Copies of this chain bind each other. A is one copy, B any other.
Amino acid sequence: MRQDKEETSVNLSRRLLLTVAGAGGAGLALGALGHSAYAGQVSEPAPSDQIPFYGEHQAGIITESQDRMHIAAFDLQTEDRQELIELLHEWTQAISEMTQGQEIGEGGALAGSYDAPPTDTGEALGLPASRLTVTIGFGRSLFLDGETPRFGLAGKLPEALIELPHFRGDMIEAQRSYGDIIVQACADDPQVAVHAIRNLARLAFGTANVRWSQIGFGRTSKTTAQQSTPRNLFGFKDGTENIVAEDSKALEQNVWATKESTDQSWMVGGSYLVARRIRMHIETWDRSTLGEQENVVGRIKGSGAPLSGGEEFTAPDFAMPGRGGPIIPKDSHVAVVHPSAHGGARMLRRGFNYTDGSDGLGRLDAGLFFIAFVNDARTHFVPIQRAMSANDAMNEYLRHTSSGLYAVPPGISEGQYLGQQLFESA
């Protein structure tokens, strides 16, 4: 059946696939099921609904950010290198199918036999690809258990894959942090992103367990020239100075690992993903004045313009005098983290807002799930986070509750598996 599908309908959407399977699926008592059961219920996805999976870099980094995210970290339950490679093979195949809007495996959710579980869990049947991207990365713990190499990866740990230090004020919860492998699924439909993580978790059964996972519901960064800057849960535009996909030079200097910037050849074309769950004390924030809020951020709430004037994309003038000091306060967020204060280092931010119910004290548990891609966290994240934790007026309203750093291998071409460069590099 898989062969049939591949020969006749490589790019069929889940909806068409369902109809084909219904009409021809062996052993299914579908009876009178015909096209009429589906016709006209879901509009055919445009080609723009699919993000190519294969390429020089993994998708989901410079892809225009989708609206929803489900990200999960996995811990390996095996120490067998071959089992790990086999898992990466299976994930690669499944991701390739799902990003085309297909069910995974032979028969998908409508498996060919009553005697086996379906190969797909089915909750995305009838939904378009929804610009799904799935991006994977490797945590330091995949390479080392203490000082002992794992999976025959001695000598393959990139120097840049450090243990992130403790920052002032950090309240890191280990059960929300770290992990051997990170899997970031982004899509415009949350059910599609959840379906992806769930099915990858299912394929991993017996080999790797979900360590933590997080749902994000609103992107927080402008990631392409055309995308408008969204607002975070402080109500401010977030990501005005983000690196956009069109800025190849900034990507080369700040995001992609290159022959020059990495000590590990397998990382060339890859990047590093920094994940931080940042709870916002929104009740406190909401009781602060507009003046306080704008002084904390260093920008106008409405327009996003710096307090030194202009419009959103006007460069801040940190020297412009105000009452009793610069008009953009020295401890404002924009002053503390601005690239001009960090040797020009910039990040590609790609975070999401989150709300995880309430905290038992009558407050919403909400904030920013910060995600950034950089070519070296030692130069592009740690100093900036250190400055922020020491000096940023925004700290009063934030609490970092998770932390993670992952080496994101480069993209692959058809026939390869995700991470192959790591396992086959000299």
Contacts and interface: CB of A to CB of B under 8 A. Distances in A.
Contacts of A312: 37
Interface string A16-47: 00100110010011111110110001100000
Given A109-B302, A286-B117, A123 B233 contact: yes
A393 to B, nearest CB: 16
Contacts of A123: 218, 231-235, 353
A210 interface: yes
A265 interface: no
B110 A305 contact: no
Contacts of A355: 70, 194, 213, 215
A115 interface: yes
Contacts of A311: 32-34, 36-37
Interface stretch (A149-157, A356-364, A411-419): A356-364
Interface string A130-171: 000000000000000000000000000000000000000000
Interface in A259-283: 282-283
Interface of chain A, helix or strand or loop or mixed?
loop
A394 to B, nearest CB: 15
Interface stretch (A54-62, A198-206, A333-341, A373-381): A198-206
A316 to B, nearest CB: 13
A364 B288 contact: no
A124 B236 CA distance: 10
A358 B117 contact: no
A124 B123 CA distance: 29
B213 A32 contact: no
A329 to B, nearest CB: 14
A358 B33 contact: no
A113 interface: yes
Of A22, A72, A125, A358, the most chain B CB neighbours within 10 A belong to A358
Nearest to A231: B123
A113 B31 contact: no
A214 interface: yes
A217 B218 contact: no
A88 interface: no
Given A114-B289, A309-B31, A210 B302 contact: no
23 contacts: A28-B302, A29-B307, A31-B300, A31-B309, A32-B305, A68-B217, A110-B301, A114-B289, A114-B290, A114-B294, A121-B285, A122-B234, A123-B231, A126-B228, A126-B231, A175-B360, A191-B217, A191-B218, A194-B218, A194-B355, A198-B364, A213-B364, A215-B357
**Which 10 residue pairs across A and B have the least CB separation, nearest first?**
A122-B235, A209-B362, A114-B291, A41-B228, A190-B217, A191-B218, A33-B303, A210-B358, A110-B302, A31-B309
Interface of A: 18, 21-22, 25, 28-34, 36-37, 41-42, 68, 70, 72, 75, 109-111, 113-118, 120-126, 175-176, 189-191, 194, 197-198, 201-202, 205, 209-215, 217-218, 228, 231-236, 282-283, 285-291, 293-294, 300-305, 307, 309-312, 353, 355-358, 360, 362-364, 366
